[in-house]
Structure 1
Amino acid sequence: MHNFLGGVVVIKGVSILGSTGSIGCQALDVVSRYPERFFVTALAAGKNWRLLSEQAARFRPELVSVAAEKDARLLEDSLPEGYKPEIHWGEEGLMAVAACAGAGVVLTAVTGTAGLLPTVAAIKAGKDIALANKETLVAAGEPVTKLAFDKGVNILPVDSEHSAIWQCLSGRIPVSLARRATGQSGGDAGGLTGICSREVGNIILTASGGPFRREPEDLSGVTVEMALAHPNWQMGKKITIDSATLMNKGLEVIEAHWLFGVEYSRIRVLVHPQSIIHSMVEFVDGSVLAQLGLPDMRLPIQYALGYPERLSNDLPRINWFDLRALTFQAPDYSRFPLLRLAFQAGEAGGTMPAALNAANEVAVEAFLNRKINFSSIYGIVSRVVENHRLISGPDLEEILAADLESRREARKYAGLT
């Protein structure tokens, strides 16, 4: 749904999957800044019913959901007198929030492949997707992008790197409607079409390098606390660990392939410790466009929710006189082997990225729970990928089966069974 037609402002309903997480909370901050542009239709959280209660009391969505029935009862009892939203829980609740009738856009900000089926439900309901859940396209890029094309739904990236690429492409829609406009069929990789695909040479994803870009030399002794101390960004625990291993960048490579229709050979990763340049597009004539900004996730969230209009704000700006240097270096694949493994899994295609992602989710959780050391994350993921029986052109059922089997294997290698 466009929010600006013929000079008449159209207020856009927003549903949020994962409202109590880092992205969800920042999205609500964005919504609160533009009451004339957005209203909240539905919110889904996990176990944090107390924060969800505060959010619901402030934004008054018509529908809310939590993970467990007992928390739904506690949530219901905590809401202000006279305010009675629909209250759901579990997977059914996520689906209800995703398909809420009043939403024009659904922000998917839950962690991991738990966001896949709700995102599919939102697409089937004809909702535009503001995608902060990269695992959806990592695990199921082909069927999800085909479904978005078939339903005429836009997938609008929220990750800062993919938002940067999108902005460098002058706001061309990443998938679905861009292909429809040029008469292309659905189901193939990506969304750059027509003149856009002829102009783009390479996509360059920048990475901060995380907390272990240079030290310590031996990563096996890295503690949970060390890995969670990201130098530039404040994020959830899982994505912060992925940033420390550079797996997050590997997942973004696979997501970029599906969003922008660029072969893996034309996707580059460049370490940029300052996190000011969020990504770049190199065109076929050698010109490069970069998107710059302070490391603040509210900027890409606002761009996705406000599309096709760029909204003004009072967020902090870059102080160019304090910006001493912008530096770059190649990623160290020997130090961060998960990044190379992600490229290989993406190129293999089929169910391989789903296996990679599932194994990584299990290994990261095991590390956060202090069951394995930091270096074991790669060992577990690589064993699962090596042993995975790839299925080409999978449907959602086959992808979910591969996800489940890979989780079982990863738990076995982590000593959790």
Structure 2
Amino acid sequence: MSQTVCILGVTGSIGQSTLKILQQHPEKYSLYAVSAYSRIAELVEICKQFRPKVVVVPSAQRDELQLKLKLEKISDIEILVDEAGLIEVSSCENVDIVMAAIVGAAGLLPTLAAVKAGKRVLLANKEALVMSGEIMMQAAKEHQALLLPVDSEHNAIFQCLPHNYLQSVRDGQPKLGVSQILLTASGGPFLNHSLEQLQTVTPNQACKHPNWSMGRKISIDSATLMNKGLELIEACHLFAVEEQFVTVVVHPQSIIHSMVQYVDGSTLAQMGNPDMCTPIAHALAWPERIQTQVSALDLIQHHRLDFTEPDLVRFPALKLARQAMSAGGLAPTILNAANEIVVEAFLNHQINFVQIAEIVESTLNRVENKSANSLELVLEVDQQSRRVAQQLLVN
């Protein structure tokens, strides 16, 4: 029986990879709803090819979309707008699977709406879980939603864990023989740069990841290692372990996507070519497997695999994220909010690369950490942290 899919963030790299999988398996999946932020011309092409029932865009883009669809003689697509539209399609009874691929805090409420509607949620938006933490995980339990990781690292960990691991007691301790999670990091484009060199790198240089094709925000996060810090926090929530049970390992080749160590001395690794179609297909079909066009890993070609510790002096963002997870409460929310502000500032040439982590740390020191006991408080502190980070930029 065919399942209906909603893709939040369809014009981004995750959305595009998801469309490839749907196109390859039309007998299994149909596209019911999509959202996009600004790339309206690309969205119209998607509408022409896949004919979703519903499209969500910002209200400022609605007239342009309506006009372009009319020119293409497409009149059977409903257009919804803004956050209310995102929440409506995420929780729509006609949707079976939600791909949560909106970048940043903007994806929180739509993702949570999908969880509360009991959907199969493919989580590509790590910031939503970083911000909401156990609020999201508790909602998934209460509403019997299936929350499956799409980040290549978390998907790899999921594949290496015992099959019933996510049903085990959530008390911060590894279960079922697991001893440690090894979260791999490519190290980004500046792995071998000195601190002096990092002072002068440009946004374009930071966006040129050596292994992955990604959007600009996540590319900057990968370059600072903040992305790995956010993934560390996400792993702690998804797999219910305290931060000391997650070790980050720099692996420049991006062939091993992450590992799980067991008490008997075993280490299980998930390997593959760096292509997001693999984890997307896994999450779509789990517990089954479906075919993709990703080529099998050639172990002879990739005969060398390197591993090193991350350098927390040159890349302090990773240390800040670990400290935020250890502090608990709303510290991860503060961290994420500040990071979104300063990454945008770096992309706009307002600050240099090294200042990204410096301003995030200053924001963490200025905003009071509280217990994350309600979604309203999470959203309030998110906005407060953004204002503080903006003020630090001005100063």
Give the SS at the match of 1:198.
Answer: coil
1:143-176: CA deviations, max 9, x gaps? 11111100011110000000000011255474xx
Cα distance in 2 for partners of 1:189, 1:31 equals: 37
Tell me how far apart the structure 2 counterparts of residues 32 and 391 of structure 1 sit (CA, whole Å): 46
Q: Check the 8 A contact 1:47/1:68 in 2, yes or no.
A: no
Q: Does 1:106 align with 2:98?
A: yes
> Secondary structure at the residue paired with 2:379?
helix
Question: Which amino acid is the alignment partner of residue 185 of structure 2?
Answer: A
User: Which of 213, 218, 223 pairs up with 1:244?
Assistant: 223
Whether the aligned pair in 1 keeps the contact of 2:372 and 2:378 (CA below 8 Å) is no
Give the corresponding residue for 1:5.
Answer: none
CA distance in 1, matches of 2:363, 2:222: 20
Q: How far is 1:250 from its partner?
A: 0.3
Query: Which of these residues, 214, 221, 224, is aligned with residue 192 of structure 2?
Result: 214
- Tell me how large the CA RMSD over aligned residues is: 1.5
SS of match in other structure, 2:199 = helix
- Alpha carbons of structure 1 residues 133 and 355: separation in structure 2 relative to 1, 3 Å: same
Q: TM-score, normalised by structure 2?
A: 0.96
Indicate yes or no: 2:3 matched with 1:12: yes
SS at match of 2:382: helix
TM-aligned CA deviation for residue 323 of structure 1: 1.4
The answer for the alignment partner of 2:36 in structure 1 is 45
Matched to 2:35, the amino acid is: A
Q: Which amino acid aligns with 1:23?
A: I
| Amino acid corresponding to residue 66 of structure 2 in structure 1 | E
| 2-structure distance, mates of 1:140, 1:111 | 15
Q: Could you tell me which residue of structure 2 aligns to residue 68 of structure 1?
A: 59
Tell me which residue corresponds to 2:50: 59
Task: Report the Cα distance in structure 2 between the residues aligned to 1:40 and 1:78, rounded to whole angstroms.
Answer: 20
2:11 is the alignment partner of 1:33: no
Matched residues, number: 392
Aligned mate of 1:202, from 177, 180, 183: 180
The residue identity in structure 1 corresponding to 2:63 is: R
Could you tell me which residue of structure 2 aligns to residue 384 of structure 1?
363
Give structure 1 regions of 4+ aligned residues with deviation exceeding 3 angstroms.
Answer: 170-174
Contact 1:207 / 1:275 at 8 angstroms: preserved in 2? Answer: yes
Deviation at residue 20 of structure 1 after TM alignment: 0.6
User: For residue 89 of structure 1, what is the aligned residue in structure 2?
Assistant: 81
Change (3 A) 1:264 1:208: same
Task: Say whether residues 1:314 and 2:293 are aligned partners.
Answer: yes
Residue in 2 aligned with 1:4? none
- Letter in structure 1 aligned against 2:301: D
Superposed counterparts of 1:324-339, under 5 Å: 324-339=303-318
Answering whether residue 145 of structure 2 is matched by residue 153 of structure 1, we say yes
Structure 1 segment 106-255 matched on structure 2, within 5 A: 106-172=98-164, 174=166, 178-179=167-168, 197-218=175-196, 219-255=198-234
TM-score by length of 1: 0.91
Q: Per the alignment, do residues 83 and 172 of structure 1 end up closer, same or farther by CA in structure 2, a change over 3 Å counting?
A: farther
Shift of residue 121 of structure 1? Answer: 1.1
Contact 1:137 1:255 (8 Å CA) reproduced: yes
Indicate yes or no: 2:323 matched with 1:352: no
Distance (Å, rounded) in 2 between the aligned partners of 1:171 and 1:385: 37
Q: Which runs of 5+ in 1 are unaligned?
A: 1-9
1:329-370 residue CA offsets vs partner (Å, 9 max, x unmatched) = 011011111101100000111111000000000000000011
Calculate percent identity across the aligned residue pairs: 46
- 1:404 corresponds in structure 2 to 383
CA distance in 1, matches of 2:363, 2:373: 18
CA shift, 1:238, in A, is 0.4
Give the SS at the match of 1:414. Answer: helix
